[in-house]
Chains A and B, each alone.
Chain A
Amino acid sequence: MGKIKMHKSPPRIDMTPMVDLFFLLLIFFILTATFRAQEAVQVDTPSSVSNKTTPEQHVITISVSKDNVVFFNVDNGIDTSEHLRGNILRAMAYQYQMKFTPAEVKKFEGLASFGLPMDKMKDFINAKDTEERDAMHTGIPMDSTDNQLLYWIRLSRSYYNDFDVALKGDRDADYKTIKKVIDILQDNKVNKFNLTTNLEDVDVTLENL
């Protein structure tokens, strides 16, 4: 009946439910996001077809940078609540006759990977900021005379036996260094470990023959 009424003002869409949903999702993603600890070194990993994901906790990560500097990292256990790092540091301190204050141990638990000999560890923990720390990484000694990497792995495993070991080498790292790390792992009876890689898709069929 009659004329169609023309809208004088543009129709208003009520966006409140959409905004509500956005915030809900936002809060969900913020809460579930796990932040990766800042790595001391940028490692450009090689690629492979494997699509197995990294385990989330109880992982020992040994990184080898492109300058063949070896870094060690171990996580704190489930939800970072097991204080594994602290215990391992104390065990290492005992091994190398050093003393760390409880405050230093606590600070160490919050740090990420490190690549330096034990005698520099105190300076490393008490360093002002990351920049100062980054300058200290000279690699973990792993010569036959002073094999600290061996002890880091051994003592870590004495606190928690089922650590997964991830070896994260840079694509330009020398195999010689990696081989040395693998040898040390095998000396610790770690024969099964993971090589961190990027995913790359390769499709091979019999027609490729």
Chain B
Amino acid sequence: MAEIIQNDGGGKQKGKRRAKKHSTHIDMTPMVDLACLLLTFFILTTAFAKAKVMEIVLPEKAEKTEKAPEVDTARALNVILVGDDKVLWYNGLANPAKPPLPTLHETDFSDDGIRRVLLQRNKEVFTLIAQMNEDVVTGKIEMPRDSIDAKRKKFLREDRKGPVVLIKAGENVKYKNVVDILDEMSITNIALYALVDINDVEKKMVADHLARTTGAE
């Protein structure tokens, strides 16, 4: 292994016979081992220490007097989180003045769950962006990384047909589920979504739905 070899002046062997004949070996193996260990440690820790973040931009808080912006009924997709990884969704808007109330569908956070619902509603924009990404990967079009993201944002801005997703979190919802649903928004490239408070009509709809499903079992 690594060691320092000192040749103790081989030439002069005249007088003192008892002087050391052997060269002094300093065994550096443990030191090198330690250095390797520390090196590995520092390499690994520096590479993985950074946490990732998900950026979210919320609309400015509206003044009480201001009226909430109207959402096109045809585009509205309501997603209600009810805890226990369960998701309820319905199309359009629930308006007690205009019965019948929309039906709630129950799904979950699996790949075939809410993601499928969102993808089907957002097929057009998603296809555009997926196509662009594929073209970049296969080399059909060349563009720097920054402009891919800019282009994606442009597609989202120009979207006029995709769903407007209104995310409503009921009581007892864990934070994980909220992040999950926001994550689904970015996976499926939904252009417009908002975190909204759940209203009383929906609360009643959810309660009815849960009563029905647990009763049926």
Contact = CB atoms under 8 A, between A and B. Distances in A.
Interface in B30-59: 32, 35-36, 38-39, 42-43, 45-46, 49-59
A82 interface: no
Interface in A11-51: 14-16, 18-19, 22-23, 25-26, 29-30, 32-34, 36, 45-51
Nearest to B197: A179
B166 interface: no
Contacts of A182: 58
B57 A196 contact: no
B80 to A, nearest CB: 12
Given A22-B32, A26-B35, A209-B123, A173 B174 contact: yes
Interface string B103-132: 000000001000110011001001100100
Contacts of B42: 26, 29-30, 33
Contacts, number: 155
Nearest to B188: A204
B177 interface: yes
B175 A171 contact: yes
A8 interface: no
Interface of A: 14-16, 18-19, 22-23, 25-26, 29-30, 32-34, 36, 45-54, 64, 166, 168-176, 178-179, 182, 186-187, 189, 191-199, 202, 204-206, 208-209
17 contacts: A15-B1, A22-B35, A33-B42, A46-B176, A47-B179, A50-B55, A52-B53, A169-B179, A171-B174, A171-B179, A173-B175, A174-B173, A186-B60, A195-B54, A204-B188, A209-B119, A209-B123
